[in-house]
Amino acid sequence: MDMHQPERGGALGRLVAGFDRFRHHHFEADHDLYDSLLDGQRPEVMVIACSDSRTDPAIICGARPGELFVVRNVAALVPPPAEDGAPHGTASAIEFGVKALGVRHIVVLGHSFCAGVRCLLDHDHGAARFDYVSDWVEVAREVRHEMDGLVTEADRALIARRAEQAAVLTSLRHLAAYPFVAERMAAGALALHGWYFHFGWGVLQAAEGPRGPFRQLDAGEPPLPALGAAMPA
């Protein structure tokens, strides 16, 4: 089987063909960049994004290799700090980005049509429970409680969008509760940002404050100020 022919190689064949294009058009064409990365990574920005295949943060933001330290999980959630001796993948990635890499910005990037947030809102976990997803989305259980307070006749798409944005804000509050994050925020060495990508509309929005609202970001405009160190609990 010829893996370099997408029409013959299927999904994996397309990826191998894509790597071939990358090697020719990027890796071999920009040796200086890739040589500089041999010494290690020095990203200024960490992005906590969803695992959703439609919302790759590097593609959305046009980032070059070495510019973003990316953490991806279901629904772009940040769990609160926990000292229980168990392994914590998202927390360990955040710790590495902050302590080892010294990132200066952390962006929590939510998105529209997020299946993880819909699972949090609508899935009957008692009747058809996922082995892992059900427990994971409970990280943002306060979002479900907040949405339950909306009028029942409200449009479900509107409630879902509000929940997706509320999940970003919840993750930011959890993030600010990590002592090593709070310490660097207080020192002015680290800033937190909440972003929301609506890929149906093709717009990127940012939270104006720890409780929102979200406003569209446009090229050429000054970025919104970072969320302050005094994040509400």
Q: Taking the alpha carbons of 116, 45, 60, 159 in that order, is the dihedral positive or negative? A: positive
Pick 122 or 93 by higher pLDDT: 93
Q: Decide: 162 and 212 in contact? Cβ < 8 Å.
A: no
Contact 3, 11 (CB under 8 A): no
Q: Which helix (H) or strand (E) holds 10?
A: helix 6-22
Q: What is the mean pLDDT of residues 173-187?
A: 96
Mean model confidence pLDDT for the chain: 85
Q: What is the pLDDT of residue 125?
A: 53
pTM: 0.85
Q: What is the mean pLDDT of residues 119-144?
A: 81
Query: How confident is the model at residue 123, as a pLDDT?
Result: 59
Q: Classify 142 as helix, strand or coil.
A: helix
Peptide bond into 213 cis (omega under 30): yes
pLDDT band at 6 (very low <50, low <70, confident <90, very high): very low
What pLDDT, on a 0 to 100 scale, did the predictor assign at position 49? Answer: 97
CA distances from 70 to 130, 149, 223, 227, 232 (A): 25, 33, 20, 20, 25
Is the model's pLDDT at 233 over the cut of 60?
no
Residue 64 CB contacts under 8 Å (≥ 6 apart), including other chains: 33
CATH classification (class only), 43-216: alpha beta
Domain(s) of CATH 3.40.1050.10: residues in the chain:
43-216
pLDDT (0 to 100) of residue 95: 97
pLDDT tens, residue by residue, 48-102:
999 999 999 999 999 988 899 999 999 999 999 998 878 899 999 999 999 999 9
Name the band, by pLDDT with cuts 50, 70 and 90, for residue 114: very high
Angle between helices 156-176 and 115-122 (to 10 degrees): 100
In degrees, rounded to 5, the angle at the alpha carbon of residue 200 between the alpha carbons of residues 199 and 201 is 90
What pLDDT sits at residue 59?
Answer: 92
Q: What is the mean pLDDT of residues 148-172?
A: 83
In the predicted structure, residue 3 carries a pLDDT above the cut 70: no
User: Is pLDDT at 155 greater than 90 in this prediction?
Assistant: no
